[in-house]
Structure formats: C-alpha cells, structure tokens
C-alpha cells in the first residue's frame, strides 16, 4: 500500500513530441505528489509538484494531471526537447511524515 | 557551493571492507535524508535526521549500516563488512525543515562498487 507504481520504465520520443509518464498509488492518505528529474551523474531535482485538491498543474512545458478517483497522476512534457532526456521519478507523501515514496523511475530519451 | 555535497563521488571497495560516505547538507537545513538508488530501482529511503537525532532508521537494510550527524550539519553513512549487494548509488538530501512539502535537495551521490 506504500508503493508508487511508475510506467513506462523507458520512453523514446521524437523532438517536439509529447512525453507522458504515469504513476499510480494505493494509499489514499497520500496528499502531496512531487516529480523529480535526474540527469546522469547528478542528484534528482524537484521539477513540479501537485496536491490532490487540483486536477492539473502546469509549469512551462511540464504539466501534472491528477485523477484522485483513479489514484493516478501523470507527467506530460509538451514539445519535448533533447535537453529533457533524463530519468524522471514520481513520488508521494502524506501528512505526518517527511518520507517520500518514490516510483522506480522512467528513463526518457528525446531524439533530435 | 550552496548545494548538497557528497564525497567521495565514487568508491570501489573489496567485499568485507568498511566504507564511510559523507554528506554536507545545505547550510541551515535541519533535515537530512539518506537514500539508496540501485540499478533499475527507485530511490529507497534509508534514514532521516532532524538535527543530530535520527527518529527514523527504518530503512537501514541491516545492522551493518549506520549513520550519524554531528553539529546539525555533516552526516556520515557507514557500511561495515560490505557485500556485493551493497553496490548502489547512495544519495543524500537535505531540506529546510521536516515538513513534507519542504523541497528535498539532493547531492550528486556516491557510487559504491563492492568487488
């Protein structure tokens, strides 16, 4: 029940295309969902985050869509660029804890 | 620099040896976290510090793993009698406080290889 399931494991997208990464959870107590971006040789860095009281959050080309009833959330990268090539992790946490539960990551490659 | 600093960046050791991994958090951050990232796996929580105290050690995989934090700043993760399954990237993160929505800032990690 503490798991966050992430898919796909890897993704190849043409430049200018839309990249979509999906995550699902079981624990309805989760109330904060950050996405982290990790470039090779670097630590993960916060990309964007959402609370379950909103269905969508957009920051530039990055959008989180949240479906509370389905217990799913996804990251959309519009107009994907080669510089977006990285590993993306979704995560979840809930009130009363500091612990993030991370998905297994998606390795994105954007072809030039 | 202003980020989380980890050293060494790479460590190769022989099975059975002890290793120490160091983390320098962002100045003023009271919360510090250690994670392990194995190939094809997500980030696995190991331990959390609030100041010098570790209220949650639940993620440490065995009693060969220990960690301490001194002066509310630098933290050391020690792995005794290393095993090949300990090979992974060990990541440290810090946050301003322990609030779940406080951004966790990660270091670049220490890649540990146990031969």
* Residue B26: band (very low, low, confident or very high) from pLDDT cuts 50, 70, 90: very high
Cβ-nearest to A43 among B40, B99, B106: B106
CA-nearest residue of chain A to B31?
Answer: A98
Percent of chain B at pLDDT exceeding 70: 95
* Residue A85: band (very low, low, confident or very high) from pLDDT cuts 50, 70, 90: very high
Closest CA to A72 of A13, A24, A12: A24
Q: What count of other Cβ atoms lies within 10 Å of the Cβ of residue A68?
A: 12
* Residue B98: band (very low, low, confident or very high) from pLDDT cuts 50, 70, 90: low
Closest CA to A33 of A70, A66, A77: A66
The C-alpha atoms of residue B110 and residue A73 are separated, in whole angstroms, by 31
Inter-chain CB proximity A32 and B100 less than 8 Å: yes
Inter-chain CB proximity A95 and B100 less than 8 Å: yes
pLDDT, tens digit (0-9, with 9 covering 90-100), for A22-60? 999 999 889 899 999 999 989 999 999 998 889 999 999
């Amino acid at each position: 029940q503490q798991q966050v399931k992430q898919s796909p494991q890897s993704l190849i997208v043409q430049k200018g295309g839309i990249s979509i990464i999906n995550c699902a959870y079981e624990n309805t107590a989760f109330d904060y969902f950050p996405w982290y971006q990790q470039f090779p040789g670097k630590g993960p860095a916060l990309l964007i985050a959402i609370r379950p009281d909103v269905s969508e959050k957009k920051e530039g080309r990055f959008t989180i869509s949240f479906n509370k009833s389905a217990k799913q959330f996804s990251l959309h990268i519009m107009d994907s660029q080669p510089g977006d090539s990285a590993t993306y992790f979704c995560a979840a946490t809930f009130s009363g804890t500091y612990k993030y539960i991370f998905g297994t990551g998606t390795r994105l490659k954007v072809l030039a | 620099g202003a980020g989380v600093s980890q050293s060494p960046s790479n460590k190769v050791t022989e099975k059975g040896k002890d290793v120490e991994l160091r983390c320098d958090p962002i100045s003023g951050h009271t919360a510090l976290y250690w994670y392990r990232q194995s190939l094809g796996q997500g980030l696995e929580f190991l331990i959390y510090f609030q100041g010098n105290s570790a209220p949650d050690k639940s993620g440490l995989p065995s009693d060969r793993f220990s960690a301490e934090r001194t002066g509310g700043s630098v933290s050391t993760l020690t792995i005794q009698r290393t095993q090949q399954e300990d090979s992974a990237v060990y990541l440290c993160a810090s946050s301003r406080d322990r609030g779940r929505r406080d951004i966790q800032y990660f270091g670049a990690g220490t890649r540990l290889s146990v031969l």
